[in-house]
Chain A
């Protein structure tokens, strides 16, 4: 069930359709995580909490490119008709996020690196907020914990790490592949301020982002999400981490569910 009552929910519905369309046009894409992280990105870009002419957004989980491209197009960073060129040879919209795309500050794809980059940026630009989006599975990378230690040492109160916590990764559940257990407790232990929210609830997301802005300590927002959110047969099914050769029948079934 999608959240139908918040003013942003209409955008959420439309962008899910855009996202599905671009992945169908391309034939491939990381659809599961893009659908789980989409509402987080909408909360960042379709609220007035941050000014991304000055504040920074770093997508560490670069495979969530489809979600960010969709949101950036909706904010007119580039024409929406470019979305159908995703992964084309001559398109700026690469499979993983690229800084060649207007509005993107950091190219990524190799997991665990973006939070370090965000901490460096937060240290170098203390007057503005740097927001990073990581995935839960990405926290299996040791580099994440190196940067978590670093951010506390340098008291980066202008840093927010949002974790898209859908509990799944490419080969199964995070619990089976490598248990992360209580991520929130880990962040607290490292000296961060931690909030846990429903990652599809705009009220909770926006409230947590407002609280996290201008704090004294680095902030972690654990956003509990559903992989494949909005398409029943994709929800919580790790096989939809990514799709290759998305067929017309599956596409139409998903589209039908996402159409209001």
Chain B
């Protein structure tokens, strides 16, 4: 999958580029609309193999979103690919009208999301894209956990015929998901069963929950965590979360995104409207911009979404 020395650490954006290249072989209607970030999204192979279906718009995100919508109107399945801080951020109004309101088959792929884009700093760390996209009617929102899930979600979206947002990250991250478990739109997966605390989230940040769960499992008295991967952020599988929380009575939501408009707020609202009112801790970025660091773990700790923050939250909620 990539050149990283550890085979269990792989690049999500590379998995995306390879999957698109493979899917295009048997799908002549698959187009990529690029905004001068072809190599950053690992789309060079696709561009070389299918030059007529690789549409380069340059640094012009608003037009690119409109071009993608027009191509979709002519019957194509279009992947509109850039960094999340540019698309959907710069071209949100075009996505709203030309793609969502016109209900067209365009997949907005926002790479380099979250604090995981450590070195590039605040301007490039998209911490608002989930909020921007979940609020739009007709839009579905997905954030893969790892490379395996990236392949599965990309393949499903290539057939969905509806608008969607796919949130990717820059660094290589741990591979956690089971290749045999199918991805279904609107379904979440219980990655690990437990009984004391439910932990939900989306994207590779969830690997931290795996790391802490072994620590808590081996301590006396042990605490067992139920970890739920909400990679289908919208439509959200609230039933699975509800069922888990009925058992654990405790919920922690972990996300590499602003708390405002994030998954935690969506879920909190759903619980307040239900008969189940769990203890709840939301770990997200608290109304702040990011900043540069040499690695994202530094940022995760600084902004309160790191492994230590998760451990503290678990101790507090028990």
Question: Quick one: given A109-B97, A110-B97, A116-B65, are A121 and B102 in contact (CB under 8 Å)?
Answer: no
Q: Chain A interface mostly helix, strand, loop or mixed?
A: helix
CA distance A9 to B68 in the complex (A): 38
Is A107 a contact partner of B66 (Cβ separation < 8 A)?
Answer: no
Chain B residues closer than 8 Å to A112, beta-carbon distance: 62
Question: Quick one: given A105-B73, A143-B62, are A120 and B94 in contact (CB under 8 Å)?
Answer: no
Distance (whole angstroms) from the CB of B99 to the closest CB of chain A: 10
Is B62 a contact partner of A123 (Cβ separation < 8 A)?
Answer: no
Q: Does A160 contact B (CB under 8 A)?
A: no
Q: Does A125 contact B (CB under 8 A)?
A: yes
- From B31, B67, B73, A147 is in contact (CB under 8 Å) with B67
Question: Quick one: given A113-B97, A113-B98, are A106 and B62 in contact (CB under 8 Å)?
Answer: no
Q: Does A149 contact B (CB under 8 A)?
A: yes
Q: Within B57-104, which residues are at the interface with A (CB < 8 Å)?
A: 57-58, 60, 62-76, 93-94, 96-98, 101-102
Q: Does A68 contact B (CB under 8 A)?
A: no
Chain B residues closer than 8 Å to A120, beta-carbon distance: 66-74
Distance (whole angstroms) from the CB of A152 to the closest CB of chain B: 12
Q: Does B55 contact A (CB under 8 A)?
A: yes
Question: Quick one: given A99-B102, A107-B101, A123-B55, are A116 and B73 in contact (CB under 8 Å)?
Answer: no
Interface residue ranges, A against B (CB under 8 Å): 99, 105-110, 112-125, 142-143, 146-147, 149-150, 154
Chain B residues closer than 8 Å to A115, beta-carbon distance: 66
Distance (whole angstroms) from the CB of B10 to the closest CB of chain A: 33
Distance (whole angstroms) from the CB of A29 to the closest CB of chain B: 20
Distance (whole angstroms) from the CB of A213 to the closest CB of chain B: 18
Q: Can you sample 22 A-B contacts with CB below 8 Å?
A: A106-B73, A106-B102, A110-B93, A110-B96, A110-B97, A113-B93, A116-B63, A116-B66, A117-B73, A119-B70, A120-B74, A123-B67, A123-B71, A124-B31, A124-B71, A124-B74, A124-B75, A146-B63, A150-B57, A150-B58, A150-B60, A150-B67
Interface residue ranges, B against A (CB under 8 Å): 31, 55, 57-58, 60, 62-76, 93-94, 96-98, 101-102
CA distance A142 to B90 in the complex (A): 12
Q: Chain B interface mostly helix, strand, loop or mixed?
A: helix
CA distance A120 to B57 in the complex (A): 11
Chain A residues closer than 8 Å to B31, beta-carbon distance: 124
CA distance A118 to B68 in the complex (A): 10
Chain B residues closer than 8 Å to A119, beta-carbon distance: 63, 66-67, 70
Distance (whole angstroms) from the CB of B23 to the closest CB of chain A: 18
Is B102 a contact partner of A107 (Cβ separation < 8 A)?
Answer: yes
- From A108, A116, A118, B62 is in contact (CB under 8 Å) with A116
Chain B residues closer than 8 Å to A113, beta-carbon distance: 62, 66, 93-94, 97-98
Is A107 a contact partner of B74 (Cβ separation < 8 A)?
Answer: no
